[in-house]
Amino acid sequence: MLARIPSRLDLKSASLAQLYAFGQVAIANAAPVRGSAVAVIGLGALGLGTIEQSASQGFVPIAFSNSGRNTRIARMLGAAHCFRKDDRRISEKLAKAVLQQIGTIILTTNSWADWDLALRIASKNATICVLGFPGR
């Protein structure tokens, strides 16, 4: 990708623009229904951008991470619920907190454990968008 960056734009912010766009493409391709839950596994630059975009487009973002710092940021960006990925009771807690099924999952990490989590929380006929492929 080749882009002209305006001089007034902070270069650190500009470097994240393409990563931010990946989340938007995942949401667009999954085509969730407004008001539905969108699970985002991993809260690095990809995940946090996807949380923010999900919230701003009228979805209910649900964040999964083991980073307390990034979980706090996800809440500020609009995450309705945040869960630790390594919580052994995650399915039980998810069922109590989120009353709707999760039909869209966006996986932003490269961990096989996170891929397993995506499969466990997916409702029937869910769409899983893979932005970080396990084993890469």
Predicted confidence (pLDDT) per residue in 54-69, tens digit: 999 999 999 999 999 9
Predicted structure pTM score: 0.90
Tell me, letter by letter, the H, E, C secondary structure of the chain: CCCCCCCCCCHHHHCCHHHHHHHHHHHHHHCCCCCCEEEEECCCHHHHHHHHHHHHCCCEEEEECCCHHHHHHHHHCCCCEEECCCCCCHHHHHHHHCCCCEEEEEECCCCHHHHHHHHHHCCCCCEEEECCCCCC
Structure tokens at 79: 């995450």
Predicted confidence (pLDDT) per residue in 1-33, tens digit: 677 888 888 888 788 778 888 899 999 999 999
